Structure 1
Amino acid sequence: METPGHSEMNALPSGLLYSHTQLLKSNRELLVTHIRNTQCLLDNLLQHDYFSAEDVEIVGACPTQPDKVRKILDLVQSKGEEVSEFLLHVLQQLADAYVDLRPWLSEIGFSPSELIQSKAVVNTDPVSRYIQKLRHQLGRDSKFILCYSKKEEVLLEDTYTDTIMELVSFSNESLGNLGSLACLLDHSTGVLNEHGETIFVFGDAGVGKSMLLQRLQSLWAAGQLDPELKFCFHFRCRMFSCFKDSDSLSLQDLLFKHCCFPEQDPEEVFAFLLRFPHTALFTFDGLDELHSDFDLSRVPDTASPWESAHPVVLLANLLSGMLLKGATKLLTARPGIEIPRQLLQKKVLLRGFSPSHLRAYTRRMFPDRAVQGRLVDQLEASPSLCSLCAVPLFCWIICRCFQHFHSIFDSSPEMPRCPVTLTDVFLLVVEVHLNRTHPTSLVQRNTQSQTETFRAGRGALRSLGQVAHWGMEKNLFVFGQEEVQASEIQEADLQLGFLRAVSELGLGEDQQSYEFFHVTLQAFFTAFFLVVDDKVGTPELLRFFQEWGPPGDAAAVSCSPRFLPFQCLGDSGLAEEDPFRNKDHFQFTNLFLCGLLSKARQKLLSHLVPAGALRRKRKALWAHLFASLRTHLKNLPRVQSGGFNQVQAMPTFVWMLRCIYETQSEKVGQLAAKGICANYLKLTYCNAYSADCSALSFVLHHFRKQLALDLDNNNLNDYGVRELQPCFSCLTVVRLSVNQITDSGVKVLYEELTKYKILTYLGLYNNQITDVGARYIARMLDECKNLSHLKLGKNKITSEGGKCHALAVKNSKSIFEIGMWGNEIGDEGAKAFAEALRDHPSLTNLSLAFNGISTEGGKSLAQALQQNASLRIFWLTKNELDDEVAESLAEMLKVNQTLKHLWLIQNRITARGVSRLADALQRNTGIMEICLNGNLINPEEAKGFEDEKRLVCF
């Protein structure tokens, strides 16, 4: 940053000693120009008796700020070297207060003496004090995690566990995992658009978006993030729904009145923020939970930070960069909402807990190893329960329930009727917290059954359900005092902790508002109300099933992105719909409705709902579910491809599967299986979790024909593989790429798929498979004699695993294609594959790209191909192949006339090697292309090979 007077900054006469007084005098103009805060200087000079009270009064009598600076400099210089040195020390120590002087202080290389360093500098700068206050406030607010009961306070530091954070492209393709929260804000990692300012974090409900932001705020408050981020402003988007259409405020009011107010000189603090917006971090949590009737088309964009506007307009313009351009914005939402690419810096998908994360989490939740062991044993004994724990919120709920039962039943800490469905889990947590309202003693335990507990708490649950339903109908997640009173919620009901008081944006200081602990809890209580309230008729009962969309449009509506229709963000053409709305909370309501009206819940509900009303509601729900399922399956897109009748399922289909599973009805499962009418089910990019595999298996185990199943690019992990066991007997194609699967999951695949030996295609690209898993896959290739396609790219397979695979390939008479891109098999693995290639009868496509193969491995492969007549496509991209390898390949081409495509992109081949390949092509009529892009060939050298069209150099 350029500042006036730099050329004369250190212009002291030759031969003179370093003089601080002279330094102030020779740079007087610079100091007068850039010192804006005189009070901080006066406070420090006065504290150390360098200035008297009379000196301070003399400075205060000066009419303008520059005059005050001149007077301070005059007085300081008159008092000698020590005072002048101390003044420079204050300017250096309070970098934020005197930011414009940083270059100068750096250039002069000022270093204070031990005497001056021993004198404490007091920071009374308004900006610095505001930053300290902000850090203190956010540190306090982020210290504890949210709990159901107000009496519980759990330290974030003691329980927070990282989840899987995956960088994705604009189209949600995986770009690799993030190692830490600091990487999330690193502008050099995963950037899709260098001009974008918004980091978009998305993931399903309960996957840990809010917790991630809370942890981020805690790290910022502790000074453990980028030191350049001096401000952190946190907003929950749902609170913007509380503003009325007529509300208007300035950006300064939005930040200071609704976040943290400066104790002094707010105008100076705001001016600093406007001048250095890159020092600010904004976090906006839950864009999908913002619902506003405010018509944004009525107002223009606002680029003025002083102009008042509706808060939603300010939000839109902050995200677009019209306001505080250069600030870092971190935005969270559930899947289904997208923001325009021009605003997007990076996209991060939260995938929840992997098995290793779950183990780490249980260790933090239960330090006692004996208790921890009992919980792990119980989870391992119930795959469906373990699968639910992949979602951090559900994992937390299950652990807290286990904690409760352990505390009251020391001798038998197991949860009664181990939960199977999500409805079971939420019924269990309600039971736990209702039981906590009953007095207990050391000599008398609470022995109420679940039925008795719910019957005793019916009034409280119905009142909570009424306010939940009111909000769900209006797509609102925050409720005012009037709505709570209208639902007849008592103070004791609030003490249960499901509904908690909040005081945030858009509400007066004397007005209390409330929200449910989580959107899934609001959905559960909504469903509970629809079931137990006698006045609820069929149309109201089925109201939220309409969100599946009209026939034929359900899938398209479910998976189509929602864009902010602000003029500053670009027109999406979806202005007729609520742009913020994500439908997951409606779908959770449908799911819980199916669970509560299931046959398994009949006994519990018979004490809460008249039998006739319960029969009527169950009959109406099943009829509607059957009709919706039949219509949806009929209208799914279908494609004839590769001999398969392929059906392209959508996220809505996953929700339907979840609802079917909640019913635990074999009849419904059979109907769904019958309606698939295809032999290839594609469920890629459907946000499916391991628990969804329970639902999928619940349906597919009724499927009596052979089936291809494509679950690429979801979040299944090893638990999901275990949950798929019931349907492996009918699967000929299994695609599980990009699913966080480890060796443990591969072992399950081996054990199950080799029982039936009908597998033809196995896709495990981009997982976490090591040589241990590679051995299981090699054995699978040995035992499954029909296996023709094997995709294992981008795992962690080394030369040992490569040799195992190569041997299995050598012995296979059915293998057609092998994909090993992006592993680490090296030269030893390449030599093993060379042996497999000699005289192989069926292998047609082989990728050994990006495997660390160099000269020896490359020459072995080239020599082996002289004895191969099956291979047609060979990828060796991104290895370390040199001219020696090129010469060996040239010799091979003189013999091998069956190879069609040879990719040598991004290796180390020079013009000499290319020349040998060009010569060999004169004797080869079979090869169609040799791709050499990215090798050590310059454009001039490439011109020499232009006549040979089969050589692609650029």
Structure 2
Amino acid sequence: MEKQGHREMGMIPSEPHSHVKLLKINRELLVTHIRNTQCLVDNLLRNDYFTSEDAEIVCACPTQPDKVRKILDLVQSKGEEVSEFLLYVLQQLADAYVDLRPWLSETGFSPSELIQSRVVVNTDPVSRYTEKLRQQLGRDSKFVLCYAQKEELLLEEMYTDTIAELVGFQNESLGPLGSLASLLDHSTGVLSEQGETVFICGDAGVGKSVLLQRLQSQWAAGRLEAEFKFFFCFRCRVFSCFKEGDTLRLQDLLFKHYCYPEQDPDEVFAFLLRFPQTALFTFDGLDELHSDFDLSGAPDTCSPWEPAHPLVLLANLLSGKLLKGAGKLLTARTGVEIPRQFLRKKVLLRGFSPSHLRTYTRRMFPDRAVQERLLAQLEASPSLCSLCAVPLFCWIIFRCFQHFHSVWDGSAQLPDCTVTLTDVFLLVTEVHLNRTQPTSLVQRNTRSRTETFRAGRGTLRSLGQVAHWGMEKNLFVFGPAEVQAAEVQEGELQLGFLRAVPEQSLGGEQQSYEFFHLTLQAFFTAFFLVVDDKVGTQQLLTFFQEWAPPGGAGADSCYPPFLPFQCLKGSGLAGEDPFKNKDHFQFTNLFLCGLLSKAKQKLLRHLVPAAALRRKRKALWAHLFASLRAHLKNLPRVQVEGFNQVQAMPTFVWMLRCIYETQSEKVARLAAKGICANYLKLTYCNACSADCSALSFVLHHFRKRLALDLDNNNLNDYGVRELQPCFSCLTVIRLSVNQITDSGVKVLYEELTKYKILTFLGLYNNQITDVGARYIARILDECKGLTHLKLGENKITSEGGKCLALAVKNSKSIFEIGMWGNRIGDEGATAFAEALRNHPSLTNLSLAFNGISTEGGKSLAQALQHNTTLRIFWLTKNELNDEVAESLAEMLKVNQTLKHLWLIQNQITAKGIAQLADALQSNTGIMEICLNGNLIKPEEAKVFEDEKRIVCF
């Protein structure tokens, strides 16, 4: 009966080796689930199992089920071999006949050698569309985008990883991103299983777009570990091209505005709707999306067939209301946030570390001699090194060096003085303007910078007019009307600053244009505001208003709304400011300060009437002074441990950048004078190494001693070098979570031991090894007033631990040591035990998560019998057992000054805890012994309920 039941469900044939009967018994199953008949006909024809007449008979059938029935009739009439081949095609093209996978598996079908020798071609519309997508993405992602359109740099040869971190909702680090494939896996960094979107954020130029391009390239080449049949990539800025009344179906957005299937688009779209998990979407640059269309009143679109405004489709794709389960990657500049309910994981890009920069140098310049010359020049210019931490700026600097190297027969020299971002953009502009000059094998182009800019004034003004028009409207894509109105000539388009938008048909049939990068648009906007005679002082200062948005709320006081999700009902995301990130305005302000600086007047006086230039400089400085005063006055202040602490905001970092661009000591002195506090807190401001140049430019005018907290930024070793001018006044330095290595620690040692005023050094969660630990030990030896040292989450082993322990032993001032999350082991623990014995000042010590086991634990316990200063001792997440617990119990009978002992997540059982509890009978000093996560069961813990100082759960 059971076997008969299986036959009725079509799971097994009556005679296992009869392929004809297998098809006959499962006829209705096959008719129901075979949707692609053309692929079957193609393969039967190719292998001469069907004649052209057979194919015509099938094609003449009016409906798809009728075609399947006719194919089955013809195949069965031709015998076992043809029937076996039909089953073989169904098996080999599993994606084309996905519904038949379980059935084929149940039948146990195994083709003969004869049938396996036959060629099966995949003409399935879905598979053919996948192949077309791979070809298109492979072509589009092959080359790195360049300024000069004639240049071609292979992505595969030039791509260099950057620092990429998985972060939490509050941007707290969850560890490094292992690989590009890690973006899409479900094992690490997932913040919400219900979230649909992987969010990649980072500063302008840090490499978000290139990372997506690399992902696209790997998928196209079949090297992406995650399996996706479809890959759709969109840039958010092009959605700004759609007008308010435009509507599209989802199918049209994907096919007509991205890549059209050559065969049966309806069948491809039906497959996508049925299996959305087979699709991956990337949306680049949410912060560059701007539209006058009011989404707040638009209805949600949950139907993939109903027309809707493209922004509504975008919002519902990201939220999962359309194609729920598809992979979705979204990028935006730092500071933009998306609703938590849509967030699956979050990745923060931080740019190049020193090692990444060296790798990138080798890729850009294969010649060893050229590499060494360039790296030597960078080492001699810390400000250039700092700018090179941003991949875009690094690429621009390297391309300029490459140009000079080719023009000057290998004697290329980068600027050897202090370099600002304005200098870099003026340099690249000069290089590309000079490329329009005729070249000669016997005569070099000897035009001066002044002559180059004077000759290119019309070009720069036309490009600036286009850039300014877009900046005023928050637009990064320009139609032909705007380009023509600015009188941009065809030859000027070929310079590479403006380029044709790849998505030509989005929002219209005519060709649109965009600047190579938003920072370049900001530069040309600033240049236009400076050189155009019609620009008055009020218009000149327009974008400085973004420092203090209407209504008096600070730009950093809250998160502005997330534009695409204003259409989601009940999300509470509506607000006044639909454009969350204002970096493009701030870059414009920065370039204005640089162009109107004293150093640039020699260049600009040939482009702008002297009177107009003086008027604009005067207006800018007056406004900058007033803005700076008002901002510093309104920064929140608080009294913390004897310090008057000011909590700076990201806007303050932008102000520092602008001050640095002026290279005006007068402005820097004013800013330093306005910091009416002795503790400057700049945590989570997304400051990079180049910002340390700006910070030092101001702080070296600060004449009093100062505490500086730069935790949780992206400074790296270049940033430490740039802080050198202000070390003479720093008593507190917090640089935790900043990618600092031993090289940066060496700079700290060399500078801090000159002044010997340091009291607090924070280097938690960096990349410091035993080499750096030796430098820190020497800081502790020579800075006699150092009281706090935070070194957790580094790479310090027993050797570094022993050096540090010896320095601690000799210190008469140290109050707190944090070593959590290193690898000092028992040897390091034994050395710290010697330091603890009779120490005069150490009060707080953390040796948590350091691989300490029995020997080290017993040494520490025995040493504490001779210590009267330690109050808090953390030994969490080690390998301490009952033997160590016994030694600690003996210690507690003697030591009456220890207050808090944390033994969480070790290997102590109820036996060890009982010994600790017994010791408490003779100890009145200890307040708590935390034993959560040890080897004790809840019922065993009940024995210790009366001893409140024992905490087991």
**TM-score, structure 2 normalization:** 0.97
CA distance in 2 between partners of 1:66 and 1:542 (Å)? 70
Map residues 145-544 of structure 1 onto 2, 5 A cutoff: 145-415=144-414, 420-504=419-503, 507=506, 510-544=509-543
Map residues 496-895 of structure 1 onto 2, 5 A cutoff: 496-504=495-503, 507=506, 510-549=509-548, 553=552, 555-557=554-556, 560-564=559-563, 566-567=565-566, 569=568, 575-895=574-894
Which runs of at least 4 in structure 1 moved beyond 6 Å after TM superposition? 4-7
CA shift in 2, pair 1:814/1:419, >3 Å? closer
CA distance in 1 between partners of 2:934 and 2:17 (Å)? 58
CA shift in 2, pair 1:304/1:289, >3 Å? same
TM-aligned CA deviation for residue 789 of structure 1: 0.6
CA shift in 2, pair 1:384/1:552, >3 Å? farther
TM-aligned CA deviation for residue 556 of structure 1: 4.4
TM-aligned CA deviation for residue 438 of structure 1: 0.1
TM-aligned CA deviation for residue 228 of structure 1: 2.6
Give the conservation status (yes or no) of the 8 Å contact 2:13–2:107.
no
Give the conservation status (yes or no) of the 8 Å contact 2:315–2:564.
no
Give the conservation status (yes or no) of the 8 Å contact 1:10–1:23.
no
Name the stretch that deviates more: 536-545 or 549-558. 549-558
TM-aligned CA deviation for residue 38 of structure 1: 1.2
Name the stretch that deviates more: 837-846 or 660-669. 837-846
- Alignment RMSD, CA only? 1.8
Name the stretch that deviates more: 173-182 or 67-76. 67-76
CA distance in 2 between partners of 1:73 and 1:565 (Å)? 50
CA distance in 2 between partners of 1:419 and 1:262 (Å)? 54
CA distance in 2 between partners of 1:897 and 1:694 (Å)? 50
TM-aligned CA deviation for residue 60 of structure 1: 2.9
Give the conservation status (yes or no) of the 8 Å contact 2:848–2:877.
yes
Give the conservation status (yes or no) of the 8 Å contact 2:90–2:97.
yes
TM-aligned CA deviation for residue 140 of structure 1: 0.5
1:55 aligned counterpart, secondary structure: helix
TM-aligned CA deviation for residue 575 of structure 1: 3.1
1:776 aligned counterpart, secondary structure: helix
2:852 aligned counterpart, secondary structure: coil
CA distance in 1 between partners of 2:564 and 2:198 (Å)? 19
CA distance in 2 between partners of 1:78 and 1:833 (Å)? 87
CA distance in 1 between partners of 2:415 and 2:728 (Å)? 32
CA distance in 1 between partners of 2:74 and 2:723 (Å)? 82
Any gaps of 5 or more consecutive residues in structure 2? Answer: none
CA distance in 2 between partners of 1:66 and 1:687 (Å)? 61
TM-aligned CA deviation for residue 226 of structure 1: 3.5
Name the stretch that deviates more: 300-309 or 30-39. 30-39
Provide the residue aligned with 1:946 in structure 2: 945
State whether structure 2 residue 59 is matched by structure 1 residue 56.
no
Give the conservation status (yes or no) of the 8 Å contact 2:556–2:650.
no
Map residues 62-101 of structure 1 onto 2, 5 A cutoff: 62-101=61-100
Deviations 1:10-59 (CA, angstroms, capped at 9, x unpaired): 6456xx77444444344334323221111101110110011222222333
TM-aligned CA deviation for residue 115 of structure 1: 2.9
Deviations 1:585-608 (CA, angstroms, capped at 9, x unpaired): 000000000000000000000000
TM-aligned CA deviation for residue 905 of structure 1: 1.1
TM-aligned CA deviation for residue 299 of structure 1: 1.6
Give the conservation status (yes or no) of the 8 Å contact 2:678–2:705.
yes
1:566 aligned counterpart, secondary structure: helix
Give percent identity, aligned residues only: 84
CA distance in 2 between partners of 1:571 and 1:674 (Å)? 47
Name the stretch that deviates more: 562-571 or 846-855. 562-571
CA shift in 2, pair 1:859/1:30, >3 Å? farther
CA distance in 2 between partners of 1:594 and 1:663 (Å)? 5
CA distance in 1 between partners of 2:333 and 2:29 (Å)? 52
CA shift in 2, pair 1:941/1:313, >3 Å? same
CA distance in 2 between partners of 1:808 and 1:196 (Å)? 49
CA distance in 2 between partners of 1:823 and 1:107 (Å)? 54
Give the conservation status (yes or no) of the 8 Å contact 1:551–1:632.
no
Deviations 1:729-769 (CA, angstroms, capped at 9, x unpaired): 11111100110001110111111111111111111111111
CA distance in 2 between partners of 1:307 and 1:132 (Å)? 28
TM-aligned CA deviation for residue 68 of structure 1: 2.5
CA shift in 2, pair 1:496/1:571, >3 Å? farther
1:233 aligned counterpart, secondary structure: strand
Give the conservation status (yes or no) of the 8 Å contact 1:527–1:592.
yes
1:515 aligned counterpart, secondary structure: strand
TM-aligned CA deviation for residue 395 of structure 1: 0.2
CA distance in 1 between partners of 2:226 and 2:709 (Å)? 45
Name the stretch that deviates more: 148-157 or 72-81. 72-81
CA distance in 1 between partners of 2:155 and 2:477 (Å)? 24
Deviations 1:316-361 (CA, angstroms, capped at 9, x unpaired): 1111111111111100001221111110001111000000000000
CA shift in 2, pair 1:416/1:906, >3 Å? closer
Deviations 1:790-813 (CA, angstroms, capped at 9, x unpaired): 111111111111111111111111
Deviations 1:35-94 (CA, angstroms, capped at 9, x unpaired): 111110111011001122222233334443233323323332333333233222211221
CA shift in 2, pair 1:17/1:301, >3 Å? closer
TM-aligned CA deviation for residue 96 of structure 1: 1.5
Give the conservation status (yes or no) of the 8 Å contact 2:566–2:574.
no
2:331 aligned counterpart, secondary structure: strand
Give the conservation status (yes or no) of the 8 Å contact 2:504–2:512.
no
Give the conservation status (yes or no) of the 8 Å contact 1:878–1:905.
yes
CA distance in 2 between partners of 1:6 and 1:715 (Å)? 66
Q: What amino acid sits opposite 2:337 in the alignment?
A: E
Q: What amino acid sits opposite 1:883 in the alignment?
A: D
CA distance in 2 between partners of 1:893 and 1:724 (Å)? 46
Any gaps of 5 or more consecutive residues in structure 1? Answer: none
CA shift in 2, pair 1:296/1:356, >3 Å? same
CA distance in 2 between partners of 1:948 and 1:52 (Å)? 90
Provide the residue aligned with 2:143 in structure 1: 144
TM-aligned CA deviation for residue 416 of structure 1: 5.2
CA shift in 2, pair 1:757/1:554, >3 Å? farther
Q: What amino acid sits opposite 2:152 in the alignment?
A: E
CA shift in 2, pair 1:104/1:550, >3 Å? closer
Give the conservation status (yes or no) of the 8 Å contact 2:562–2:580.
no
CA distance in 2 between partners of 1:562 and 1:371 (Å)? 48
CA distance in 2 between partners of 1:567 and 1:492 (Å)? 42
Give the conservation status (yes or no) of the 8 Å contact 1:840–1:870.
yes
Q: What amino acid sits opposite 1:516 in the alignment?
A: F
Deviations 1:680-723 (CA, angstroms, capped at 9, x unpaired): 00000001010000000000001111100000010000000000
Give the conservation status (yes or no) of the 8 Å contact 1:644–1:680.
yes
Name the stretch that deviates more: 338-347 or 499-508. 499-508
Q: What amino acid sits opposite 1:206 in the alignment?
A: G
CA shift in 2, pair 1:272/1:417, >3 Å? same
Aligned residues: 949
2:584 aligned counterpart, secondary structure: helix
Give the conservation status (yes or no) of the 8 Å contact 1:242–1:506.
no
Q: What amino acid sits opposite 1:741 in the alignment?
A: I
TM-aligned CA deviation for residue 106 of structure 1: 3.4
CA distance in 2 between partners of 1:859 and 1:8 (Å)? 70
